[in-house]
């Protein structure tokens, strides 16, 4: 069983707008409304992989009610803490002709200390039957930046492998709590290490730096694939998994699907190389569809054979 935790759950609206231009009036050719937030996206993808998963987090107001109802409609097991303030709505404008997307994300609700404590109590209960806990996404207002660090330590103490996917100071503090895996995208990783990445050596240096900060395993995701540092059998190995070239419809949530693919493959006992192939292939398959966390598993299986995985060596002197 995998538990996904989304503190800043959202109602995600994806609008398909051909030839989208700023400052012009448009009519959307299609509208897709889903429950969203990074942890929910991971749960949706895990469900497509037939991995047992429970989605939890915070949900408030009518929007929160809709989020829970939508997850139930998708047959995704869920157990959210209801909060007083209204959950956020996020909007993505997808231009299928230009291959672009524009995100507009609200800040989200303000959360009280009692509501956070109730969530931690629920996590302690749920994690007793879980192999892995995924903490993902931004923190809503009122939640201390140390929340993820505290949760990582608590869930690890209870015996779960903890995955962290966030950004900024909450991510930095969370890494110091030594999670089993962190999965930032390139921009988030650049912020962590304080420099932009230009070549493979820069990515390898970043993998090692983030691991030295406390993470046991590290993924750095991007539209073209993934760099990974994996600890296995007392060895540390570094990889670059390159995705096949595709014409994306929407890249929103591709990193969440990649993470789900990795967890699904590792849970089935696949090798590191096989797991990276499936993970990157699933992320690639997801860019062919509008809606975060959605992909065709058969397409992911087909694309897995096209993913190129190379082992990388440490940077000399690092």
**Among 127, 142, 216, 138, CA closest to 176:** 216
Buried b (16+ CB within 10 A) or exposed e, 224-261: ebbbbbbeeeeeebbbbbbbbeeebbbbbbbbbbbbbb
- For tokens 């694309």, the residue is 303
Q: Is-contact 174 152, C-beta < 8 A?
A: yes
Tokens of residue 185, six digits: 């995208």
- 100-105 vs 88-95, strand pairing mode: antiparallel
Neighbours of 107 (CB within 10 A): 10
The number of CA neighbours under 13 Å toward the Cβ of 86 is 8
Alpha-carbon distance of 241 to 252, in angstroms, equals: 19
Query: Vertex 254, ends 248 and 257: CA angle to 5°?
Result: 135
Alpha-carbon distance of 299 to 304, in angstroms, equals: 9
Alpha-carbon distance of 34 to 85, in angstroms, equals: 20
Q: Is-contact 269 259, C-beta < 8 A?
A: no
Q: What are phi and psi of 67, to 5 degrees?
A: -60, -50
Alpha-carbon distance of 232 to 212, in angstroms, equals: 16
- For tokens 């995100």, the residue is 103
Alpha-carbon distance of 64 to 220, in angstroms, equals: 31
Active site residue 114: no
Length of the chain, in residues: 318
- Out of 12, 85, 208, 256, pick the active-site residue: 256
Catalytic residues: 256
């Amino acid at each position: 069983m995998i538990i996904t935790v989304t503190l800043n759950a959202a109602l995600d609206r994806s609008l398909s707008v051909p030839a989208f231009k700023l400052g012009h009036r448009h009519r959307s050719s299609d509208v897709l409304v889903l429950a969203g937030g990074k942890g929910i996206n991971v749960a949706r993808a895990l469900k497509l992989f037939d991995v047992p998963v429970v989605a939890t987090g915070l949900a408030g107001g009518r929007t929160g009610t809709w989020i829970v109802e939508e997850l139930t409609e998708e047959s995704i097991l869920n157990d959210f803490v209801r909060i007083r303030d209204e959950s956020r709505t996020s909007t993505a404008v997808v231009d299928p002709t230009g291959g672009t997307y524009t995100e507009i994300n609200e800040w989200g609700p303000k959360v009280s200390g009692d509501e956070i404590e109730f969530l931690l109590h629920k996590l302690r209960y749920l994690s007793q039957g879980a192999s892995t806990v995924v903490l993902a996404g931004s923190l809503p207002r009122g939640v201390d930046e140390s929340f993820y660090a505290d949760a990582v330590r608590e869930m690890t103490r209870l015996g779960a492998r903890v995955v962290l996917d966030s950004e900024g100071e909450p991510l930095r503090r969370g890494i110091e709590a030594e999670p089993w895996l962190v999965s930032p995208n390139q921009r988030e990783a650049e912020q962590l290490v304080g420099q932009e990445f230009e070549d493979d050596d820069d990515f390898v240096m970043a993998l090692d730096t983030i691991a030295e900060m406390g993470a046991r395993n590290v993924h750095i995701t991007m539209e073209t694939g993934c760099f990974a540092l994996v600890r296995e059998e007392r060895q540390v190995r570094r990889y670059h998994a390159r995705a096949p070239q595709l014409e994306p419809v929407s890249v929103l949530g591709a990193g969440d699907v990649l993470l789900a693919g990795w967890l699904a493959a590792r849970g089935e006992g696949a090798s590191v190389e096989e797991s990276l192939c499936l993970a990157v292939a699933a992320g690639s398959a997801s860019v062919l569809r509008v809606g975060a966390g959605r992909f065709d598993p058969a397409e992911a299986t087909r694309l897995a054979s096209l993913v190129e995985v190379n082992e990388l060596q440490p940077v000399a002197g690092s």
